[in-house]
């Protein structure tokens, strides 16, 4: 009997998946994301034979670009950014199906031209095509694009059928609770929720998906996964990169909006949520929302504050000097944008009552690493009292999301020898060692899932609103405070003292992953 029949829970991960004949339309197709991620993702899907036979790609943007030029740019993007080399025979199949339509994002007539081009394709191939719109422009034009998809009738093609129109929306999804609600309002006035795919590319990462498998396909974890055994949880999303040339965007954003509200909260939700009743999208999203709802409002003021924020100052990374945030191009002279944020959260439910969850994310930190570390309580009693002979550590299970994807467990072991001495040891599992290192990129999985209509790895409207509801009071508080209370950390370090203080108040320290 196949595994998914014996364990219906695994069905969603093992079922054979295929997309209907599709045309993907990318808005903002002359942009950075399209070149670095979207075109390479589509190419890699083609290479793996995962695109439907009647697949077409239409780039859309304001500049007039002939089809041939877009095809040349796309091939160049694949050569530069794809995880696998451009193979002529694959590209020869894809290139003639790669087209461009130019027009404004608020120009209804241009959307009608786009609709006519899609209708022309359908006539040529002799069948109905699903349209998957990928909104990859700056957020200022998200709403006009959605409205024009509605007004031109493109949003309602084949509605109610499996090949109904679908739309992927890039981040940032709003800048606070009010703007996220307004964007949801615009989207749901045009599309049904089942047509909408709000992206968080962390959900497309292999190791993030594996978190569900580790938690719910292994019986050993669930009995321990609660306040009786877990002392606290640390989630770190650390980057080595600085703001680079992105200050125009980042000055309006900061670490809380850019990384915590979305990527880090998603990691938290998947780590702490209850087991879903099945692997279908709604069951998983329901559990994530319930978990986010159980997070208590944060204290923002005084010594007991649950939040810390900081900016990087000049420092050394990999032995090389790097400038501080205030010296980066296009950063305001009085900028109070945080490049690091940390939160201490309490989840008020039966499972997690009293267990602190610590979240941190920052740019220009010591090392690029994303990990979830579950620290268990110490063994009771004092059979092995801490002494020179008995070095003991609390058991820690760490999921390393990136790089060096894997899992590790810290245990205490006897040092071989004639007397009993102990030392903490690390049990390691590395994906690359077991499975090889050529895993699909997040965008490959996400584009394919949206084509299939599987929303499991996308954010539902209420999920994003709940997450904004948690962080908006912090944003408002920081806006009022300006630079007061903004801490500093040297580039190349693990973050500011104020973040260490969040843990110290409970007798904890951050791991150095
Ligand atoms: P770009 O700044 O490269 O813009 C994409 C395209 O949108 C441009 O090529 C341009 O196309 C059009 N555009 C640019 N500015 C404006 C404007 N002010 N008004 C209208 N149209 C404009 O963006 P990215 O490709 O970097 O990002 C696209 C989306 O993806 C954004 O929402 C971003 O937040 C998100 N994202 C990007 C990541 C990245 O690594 N780049 C990572 C994660 C998310 P044209 O002039 O041809 O119309
Ligand atoms: C993006 C942020 O969403 O994620 C960037 O806007 C950040 O600031 C990036 O650098 C990190 O993604 P990854 O996949 O490199 O960890």
CA dihedral 274, 279, 283, 288 (to 10 degrees): 50
Place of tokens 């606070």: 176
Choose the catalytic residue: 263, 353, 477, 508. 263
Residue 446 sits at the vertex; the CA angle it makes with 440 and 449, to the nearest 5 degrees, is 110
CA atoms within 13 A on the CB side of 45: 29
Classify residue 42 by its DSSP letter.
H
61 within ligand 1 shell (Cβ under 6 A): yes
Containing 455, the helix (H) or strand (E) segment is none
488 within ligand 1 shell (Cβ under 6 A): no
Residues contacting 182, CB < 8 A, separation 6+: 174
Name which of 283, 264, 302 is nearest 481 in CA terms: 302
Tell how far the Cα of 32 is from the centroid of ligand 1, in angstroms: 7
Domain boundaries, the chain: 3-170, 203-438+461-504
Say which CATH architecture domain 3-170 belongs to. 3-Layer(aba) Sandwich (3.40)
Name which of 368, 369, 331 is nearest 241 in CA terms: 368
Tell how far the Cα of 300 is from the centroid of ligand 2, in angstroms: 26
Residues contacting 338, CB < 8 A, separation 6+: 254, 255, 256, 309, 310, 311, 478, 486
pLDDT at residue 84 in the model = 95
CA 480, chain centre distance (Å): 29
Residues contacting 164, CB < 8 A, separation 6+: 130, 157, 158, 194, 195
pLDDT at residue 436 in the model = 86
Atom of ligand 2 nearest to the CA of 171: 3
Per DSSP, what are the bridge partners of residue 55?
22
Q: In which residue ranges of the chain is pLDDT below 70?
A: 1-17, 386
Containing 343, the helix (H) or strand (E) segment is strand 340-346
pLDDT at residue 11 in the model = 34
326 within ligand 1 shell (Cβ under 6 A): no
CA atoms within 13 A on the CB side of 219: 1
For residue range 436-479, what is the model confidence (pLDDT) as tens digits? 878 899 999 999 999 999 999 999 999 999 999 999 999 999 99
Per the CB < 8 A criterion, the answer to whether 377 and 184 are in contact is: no
239 within ligand 2 shell (Cβ under 6 A): yes
Tokens of 60: 């859309």
Q: Domain spanning 203-438+461-504 has what CATH number? A: 3.30.360.10
31 within ligand 1 shell (Cβ under 6 A): yes
Tell how far the Cα of 3 is from the centroid of ligand 2, in angstroms: 35
Ligand nearest to the CA of 244: 2
Per the CB < 8 A criterion, the answer to whether 345 and 357 are in contact is: yes
258 within ligand 2 shell (Cβ under 6 A): yes
Exposure class string for 151-176: b at 16+ Cβ within 10 A, else e:
ebebbbbeeeeebbbbbbbbbbbbbb
Residues contacting 357, CB < 8 A, separation 6+: 232, 233, 235, 268, 272, 344, 345, 346, 347
Name which of 429, 377, 436 is nearest 408 in CA terms: 429
Containing 97, the helix (H) or strand (E) segment is none
pLDDT at residue 17 in the model = 67
Tell how far the Cα of 383 is from the centroid of ligand 1, in angstroms: 60
441 within ligand 2 shell (Cβ under 6 A): no
Exposure class string for 362-386: b at 16+ Cβ within 10 A, else e:
bbbbbeebbbbbbbbeeeeeeebee
Query: What is this structure's pTM?
Result: 0.94
Tokens of 92: 């020869």
The separation between the first and the last C-alpha atoms of the chain, rounded to the nearest angstrom, is 41
What is the rounded CA–CA span in Å between residue 368 and residue 47? 29
pLDDT at residue 386 in the model = 65
pLDDT at residue 12 in the model = 37
Name which of 15, 99, 86, 98 is nearest 47 in CA terms: 86
What is the rounded CA–CA span in Å between residue 445 and residue 449? 6
Tell how far the Cα of 510 is from the centroid of ligand 2, in angstroms: 22
Asked about 56 being catalytic, the answer comes back as: no
For residue range 371-427, what is the model confidence (pLDDT) as tens digits? 999 999 999 877 887 678 898 999 999 999 999 899 999 999 999 999 999 999 999
Ligand nearest to the CA of 170: 1
Query: Which residue puts its alpha carbon closest to atom 4 of ligand 1?
Result: 31
pLDDT at residue 427 in the model = 96
Ligand nearest to the CA of 36: 1
- Phi-psi map region of 482: left, alpha, beta (phi>0 left; psi -120 to 50 alpha): left
Strands 396-402 and 406-414: antiparallel
pLDDT at residue 2 in the model = 41
Per the CB < 8 A criterion, the answer to whether 470 and 298 are in contact is: yes
């Amino acid at each position: 009997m196949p595994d998914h029949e014996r364990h219906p829970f695994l069905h969603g991960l093992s079922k054979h998946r295929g997309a209907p004949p599709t045309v993907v339309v990318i808005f903002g197709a002359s942009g950075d994301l399209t070149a670095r991620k979207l075109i390479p993702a589509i190419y890699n899907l083609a290479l793996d034979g995962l695109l439907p036979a009647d697949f077409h790609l239409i780039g859309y943007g304001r500049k007039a670009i002939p089809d041939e030029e877009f095809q040349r740019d796309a091939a160049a993007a694949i050569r530069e950014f794809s995880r696998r080399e451009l193979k002529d025979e694959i590209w020869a199949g894809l290139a003639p199906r790669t087209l461009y339509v130019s027009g404004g994002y608020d120009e209804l007539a241009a959307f009608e031209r786009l609709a006519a081009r899609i209708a022309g394709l359908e006539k040529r191939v002799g069948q109905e095509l699903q349209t998957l719109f990928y909104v990859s422009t700056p957020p200022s034009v998200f709403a006009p694009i959605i409205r024009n998809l509605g007004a031109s009738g493109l949003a309602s093609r084949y509605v109610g059928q499996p090949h109904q129109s679908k739309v992927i929306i890039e981040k940032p999804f709003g800048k606070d609770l009010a703007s996220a609600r307004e964007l949801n309002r615009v989207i749901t006035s045009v599309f049904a929720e089942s047509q909408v795919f709000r992206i968080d590319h962390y959900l497309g990462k292999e190791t993030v998906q594996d978190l569900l498998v580790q938690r719910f396909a292994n019986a050993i974890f669930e009995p321990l996964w609660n306040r009786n055994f877990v002392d606290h949880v640390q989630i770190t999303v650390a980057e080595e990169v600085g703001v680079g040339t992105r200050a125009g965007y980042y000055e309006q954003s900061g670490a809380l909006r850019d990384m915590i509200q979305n990527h880090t909260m998603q990691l938290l939700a998947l780590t702490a949520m209850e087991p879903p009743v099945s692997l279908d999208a709604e069951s998983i999203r329901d559990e994530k929302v319930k978990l986010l709802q159980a997070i208590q409002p944060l204290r923002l003021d005084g010594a007991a504050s649950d939040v810390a924020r900081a900016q990087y100052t000049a420092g050394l990374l990999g032995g090389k000097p790097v400038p501080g945030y205030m010296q980066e191009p296009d950063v305001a002279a009085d900028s109070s944008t945080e490049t690091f944020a940390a939160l201490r959260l309490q989840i008020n439910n039966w499972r997690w009552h009293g267990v602190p969850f610590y979240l941190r994310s920052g740019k220009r930190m010591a090392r690029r690493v994303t990990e979830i570390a579950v620290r268990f309580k110490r063994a009771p009693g004092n059979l092995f009292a801490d002494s020179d002979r008995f070095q003991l550590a609390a058991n820690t299970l760490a999921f390393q999301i990136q790089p060096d994807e894997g899992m590790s467990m810290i245990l205490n072991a006897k040092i071989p020898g004639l007397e009993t001495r102990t030392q903490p040891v690390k049990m390691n599992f590395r994906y690359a060692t077991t499975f090889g290192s050529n895993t699909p990129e997040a965008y490959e999985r996400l584009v394919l899932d949206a084509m299939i209509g599987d929303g499991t790895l996308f954010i539902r409207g209420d999920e994003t609103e709940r997450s904004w509801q948690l962080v908006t009071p912090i944003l408002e508080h920081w806006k009022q405070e300006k630079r007061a209370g903004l801490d500093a950390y040297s580039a190349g370090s693990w973050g500011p003292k104020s973040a260490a203080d969040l843990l110290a108040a409970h007798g904890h320290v951050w791991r150095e992953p």
